[in-house]
Every structure is written in structure tokens, then in C-alpha cells.
Amino acid sequence: MGMLGKRRPSRISGQRVSAGTGRKVPTLSGAVIDKASSGDVNENAVDILRLAHDGRGIAKDDAGKTLFVDQALPGERVKVAVHRSRRRFDEAHVRELITSSSERVLPPCPHYGQCGGCDLQHLSLEAQRRHKCDVLIDQLARQGVALNASPMLLAGEGFGYRRRARLGVKVDAQGQVHLGFRARGSRHLVDITECPILVPALAALLTPLRQHLATLQAPRQVGHIELLAGDDELAVVVRQLRANAEDAEGWRQWGSTCKVSVGLLQGRENPKFSFPDKALQLSYTLQSGARNLKQRALELYFSPGDFLQINAEINREMVATAMEWLEPDKNDHVLDLFAGVGNFSLALAPHVAKVTSVEGSLAMVKRLQHNARHNDLDNIDAQSGDLNQNPALDSHPHSVVLDPPRGGAEAVCQSLATSEIKRILYVSCDPATLARDAGHLVKGGYRITQAAVADMFAQTAHLEAMLLFERPST
């Protein structure tokens, strides 16, 4: 069983491409049967029919069983090897590419296929974005919700956009330090020497970080390293499982040399956070106002642990689109749920009478309040609340903005469905929970008047979406 779940190398375009990490695949409630160890290879070619929501190719084997094939594209003919078998479908990877799609491209990252960070680098950017629009339409249709028109696309650069990342650290039995990202669905750490997804300033820190880790007195006490980029400042947060004064001083000196703020999160139980060299000043800018209106620059501060949209360019596009869709009026009261550090609240505040911002994290509420003061906005009422229980509808808003985590906002939407609120803007990072919640609103009488897919996570199957719901006038 030493080969349990191992993904075998594939031949693509005449080159040998590593398709996995040699990791083990866990058995799930007895439903997963490993076939890789017995050499279960489908020597008959299969045709890839379409893409699954997660970006894998879908095919049928000779018996009519569904295959989900890693890194295979519609229109391609491939030979596959099954690495996991379930009762209703098998999971496979490409052994040989017979016919290639015209939309296949050469992934620029040397770690692609091993690192779990990206899953669509082999597909052209244009095709990735069409797929994401199709996924949103399909997920809504599964809930009986139809769009009147194709969603608009908010898109930017395909690489160099990620301003936040967490790197794993491991020291092997020979004392060699490994730094990188996890393989998909595994604890296996893939060493990373470069990452074209990171903003260039963070990508440039990978080699210096690796070099410095090798000089530490206790590298095994480093759990992970988080990279953060503001508009004008970089930060590295080091998770130290046990405090070490010599290594703490080494990190301070490294940060000074690399012009990076280094923070230490020390201790196993109730870890304490500190920036030993200087106060952290991470921030990003937004423009308040629609694209065709007079705009005002805003500066928002954030800290490690705060929610942050990882793609600054797409975030700016989403905020500008929200301003256009909501058509804020000076007499409006807007309720911003899951408000974070004020991403939408601050943009709306200069154009409305009042913004009530509700956020579950007290630390982010305090940051939002600070950001309001910093930008001379006195019409934001920021408060902490459990948004699974308290949608704060008793404040009688004209419009509602919600940007929940991946689990969605079902309880909130069930309450909103019975309200008379004029407009609801829902921003989501998970199309399945968005569709579920949209079903509640549509059943309550709302209709979708605007839809957009925001390519926040280029080169991956993840997508951000925006829907505007409006209550028809009676």
C-alpha cells in the first residue's frame, strides 16, 4: 500500500509532467478504493466532455462511469490513470494526452501540478473566465434562479496579484529546511522557489526567507509564515511555537535588511503577537464614488488576521461596481453586514446619510472605527454582532450590502426575504452558497437586476461573484 493515492506522472505535449506529490489519499468512510497501487490504467482513450465546477475535466469510461480528470480540458482525448474510485465516479489524472485543446497553455510556474495553490494554469485566461461565468449561471439554475443576461466580468492581471499568502515550514530528518505551500488536499509540503501569483514584492522574499530560516537556532519551532502586502508596506508574520530570543533578534535584523516589518506570534497556548522593530502600518487605498462621479481617495488600515480581499485591483473594481449598482443617495441609510475593516462601508459613507456596519470580529470592528476616523467619516455606526442570529434589520435601512465568508449568509437572507428593503447587494466567494441564499431572496419576491463575476483568484477555479437584488415597485 506504499503507493496509496499516488498521482502518477503524465505526458503532455511530449514532455513528462509531474502530476502529483506521492502523497497518500485518505479513505473516506470506506467509500474510496485505491487503484493506483494495482496499476489500474484505462488504456482506452476517453474524451473530455466539459469542465466540472472545480476545473477538472469530466469524461465517461467504457462502462459509462463518470471520470473527473485532473488538468484535462474539454475537447481533449486522453488516456488516464484512476487514483481513487468511488461508487458513483472515479478520480483520475492524465497518463497521455492524445489530442490537445486549442485553449491549453503552458503553465509558467515550475511548481504547477504539485503545489495546491493553483488548478487552472493549463487553461487560457480567457477560457478560465468563461468557465467561471458558466459556473455561476449553473449554480443559480440548480436553485431555480435564472439570470436575464450573462454576468459582467470584472477582470485584471492573471499573475502577480496575490497580496496575502501563508507558507508552511518544515525541517526534515536531515535538518534541511523546507518552505512552501501544501499539496492539494494534503499536509505534504511542496518546496517553492518562485510564485508568479504573488505580488512581485512578496515573491521576491521567498529566497531571502529560505536563506534566513537555515540560520535560525530553532527552525523546527517555526510553524508557518504569513506574507502581507499593503500599498506601501510589506509584513511577514512568523508563527513561533516557542519563544526564542536569539531567533527573535535574528528576525528583527532580517526585517531591517529586507525593509519588511516582521511580526512574531509566539507560544503554543494563547500565542502573543508582537512587532519587535516598529509599529505596523499596513494599508490600502480605495476610491469612493462611481466611475462617472467625483471620487474621493480613502485609506484603510488592516492588520494580520483581518479579512482582506487578496486581489487589490479586483477589489477596487468590485467597490466601484457596487457604487454604480446601489446608486447611493444623500438621504439613504445603508446596512453593511460582514463589514470587515470597512471595505464597502467607507466607500459608501461620503454619499449617504448613515452606514450601519456589523461585523462578527471585535478586532475588525475597532479597525473599522479607526478607519472611519482616519478618513473623517462620522456617519458610520460600527458594531459587533453575530450575523447568524442578528441581521440588524430593525435599523430600517434602504439598502443592504453583505459580503459573508464561504459558508454564506442563509439566516440573514431568510430574514431579508421577508423585508421591504429596496436593494440588496450580495458579494460572495462561493457560488454554491450564493445560489442557495439567492433562492431564498427570489422566493421572497426579489429579482436579480445585476450580476458580475469578479476574477479575484485568477489561475484557480475559485470565483468571486456579485448579485444585486431589487424589490419590484408595487
> Which residues are designated catalytic?
429
Alpha carbons 287 and 317: distance in angstroms, whole number: 10
The x, y and z cell numbers of residue 376, run together, are: 473623517
Under 8 Å between Cβ of 393 and 438:
no
Alpha carbons 203 and 360: distance in angstroms, whole number: 32
The x, y and z cell numbers of residue 462, run together, are: 475559485
| C-alpha angle 64-2-44 in degrees, rounded to nearest 5 | 25
Sign of the alpha-carbon dihedral angle for 213, 218, 222, 228: negative
How far from 385 is each of 359, 365, 369, CA to CA, in Å?
6, 10, 15
Q: 264-269, long-range: CB within 8 Å, 24+ apart, which pairs?
A: 264/237, 264/238, 264/240, 265/237, 265/238, 265/239, 265/240, 266/240, 266/242, 267/240, 267/241, 267/242, 267/243, 268/241, 268/242
Question: Residue 277's Cα: distance from chain center in Å?
Answer: 30
Alpha carbons 23 and 174: distance in angstroms, whole number: 20
Q: Torsion angle, CA of 325/465/102/198, rounded to 10 degrees?
A: 110
Contacts of 118 (CB under 8 A, 6+ apart): 107, 109, 112, 197, 459, 460
Q: How many CB atoms lie within 10 A of CB 243?
A: 14
- Rounded to the nearest 10 degrees, the angle between the axes of helix 125-142 and helix 431-443 is 40
| Nearest to 71, CA basis, from 27, 7, 129 | 7
Contacts of 352 (CB under 8 A, 6+ apart): 328, 329, 330, 331, 332, 333, 334, 379
Under 8 Å between Cβ of 194 and 250:
no
